Chain A
């Protein structure tokens, strides 16, 4: 397909953020939307994650946003006329320390106020619902909810199949430079041609710093690798998607095909784009999972892979325009939550583009909460520290 010479909006990146934004812009009457993608649609973090769609969050504000996000996924199959395999697998935080249990009493009470169905389970109740933990490190309890998974690829294809004639998607097209003057963005230059446009949306997540740099826009988000492994399928035995944060962060769940996907997080993962698989990940994950769930000793690993988390200092995405360059929009820095957040937040972004005003729920995600001199920080090793009231207050 020939690359158009002009566009009303150029979207860089055909992952869930870029395709979601393209769809929402088209639905609001924006004409000539051109999506350019370095590889194939979904090649970045969108095609490499495990697509957990979780409402229960540690803070009320994030839980409210996540509820709207999950609602959007529940409607998505009907709206896009394509099955995105939305499935309420269940979701559990497995708690190993007593102070985590105490913290969760307040969190579960907050969920109840909002209408999220979660429950704090004792150690015995946890093993009853999730017998896979029997014989492993002693659990202190868990929080169980009726949260969901989707299939990430099905979500991408549902979007691609649903896009109308206002949108053209150009895979295997690499952005080489951004033309702008002192006041505003002018054009996107690629290895397949130049596109003149008044509006550019950077939706490249892990690669967004590289693209922002081309436009002389400075943001504090930085990419870090996350690794995953998948096992051969087995009969459905694990009755929820599980995550634990202490003493080491990790997670696993069964896919609808019965495979177990899992990962033990490396707290010392350095900054940088790196999608290679490591032996240390395989060893770390095998050790952590067999210690917590000895029954998993007999599952067989068939593949491991890696994707990028684009992490912001406050672990919240960067969505909206920037005062640093007129016409330059971003939907990046998803911090590992892009599948959950992007369809809904790009809807709000599209609303902002066409009305010129940020919808209320988008305000705390706007890029200008960071200045051009905000330093990129090291990642918080302790999961809960990222969502402590102090950290949240500093960005609201």
Chain B
């Protein structure tokens, strides 16, 4: 499924990040522009590249301008791909450290369920 450079041999599939065996944020060459990065908010690789080209390459700004990482998964499915495309477009230093802030809750939770939690749990 992958060639020696980590490129997908399946025409419709791109493999990025650690799945490509190239390290956390490394991207194989030639991520297609229409490669889907953020499933929740429907953000493609080209949209991220366009932000870098427009001078908005800071990960916090790419996130806010494209909506990537802001949907119900909060980046759990897409952060690797997001970083890979951004590193490809803006250089690896653009995604060094924690590129954006992780925040609670870990998973989406109903307001009603929060009210139902045991008072004793509230420390």
Partner of A299, one of B70, B104, B110: B110
For chain B residues 57-75, which have a beta carbon within 8 Å of chain A? Answer: 58, 60-61, 64-65, 70-72, 74
Q: Hey, which chain A residues are within 8 Å of B58, CB to CB?
A: 40, 171
User: Which of B11-19, B83-91, B111-119 lies at the binding interface?
Assistant: B111-119
Complex Cα–Cα for A302 and B122 (A): 20
Q: Hey, which chain B residues are within 8 Å of A47, CB to CB?
A: 64
Whether the pair B60, A290 counts as a contact (CB closer than 8 A) is no
Partner of A302, one of B74, B101, B117: B74
Q: Hey, which chain A residues are within 8 Å of B117, CB to CB?
A: 283
Whether the pair B115, A287 counts as a contact (CB closer than 8 A) is yes
**B14 to chain A: closest CB distance in Å?**
26
Whether the pair B112, A301 counts as a contact (CB closer than 8 A) is no
B97 within 8 A of A: no
Q: Hey, which chain B residues are within 8 Å of A56, CB to CB?
A: none
Whether the pair B104, A297 counts as a contact (CB closer than 8 A) is no
A-B contact count (CB 8 A): 76
A365 within 8 A of B: no
Classify chain B: how many residues form its interface, as a range.
Answer: 20 to 34
Once A303-B74, A303-B103, A305-B103 are accepted as A-B contacts, the answer to whether A290 and B111 lie under 8 Å apart by CB is: yes
**A28 to chain B: closest CB distance in Å?**
25
Chain A contributes a number of interface residues (CB within 8 A of B) equal to 31
Instruction: Give A32-55 as 1s and 0s: 1 = Cβ < 8 Å from B's Cβ atoms.
Output: 000000011111000100000000
Whether the pair A300, B109 counts as a contact (CB closer than 8 A) is yes
Complex Cα–Cα for A299 and B105 (A): 14
A244 within 8 A of B: no
Task: Write 10 A-B pairs (CB below 8 A) sorted by A numbering.
Answer: A231-B111, A232-B108, A279-B104, A282-B105, A283-B115, A290-B115, A301-B114, A303-B70, A303-B103, A303-B105
Q: Which residues on A are within 8 Å of B, measured CB to CB?
A: 39-43, 47, 153, 157, 171, 231-232, 277, 279-280, 282-283, 285-287, 289-290, 296-305
The 5 A-B residue pairs with the shortest CB-CB distance in the complex, in nearest-first order: A297-B112, A286-B114, A300-B108, A286-B111, A40-B58
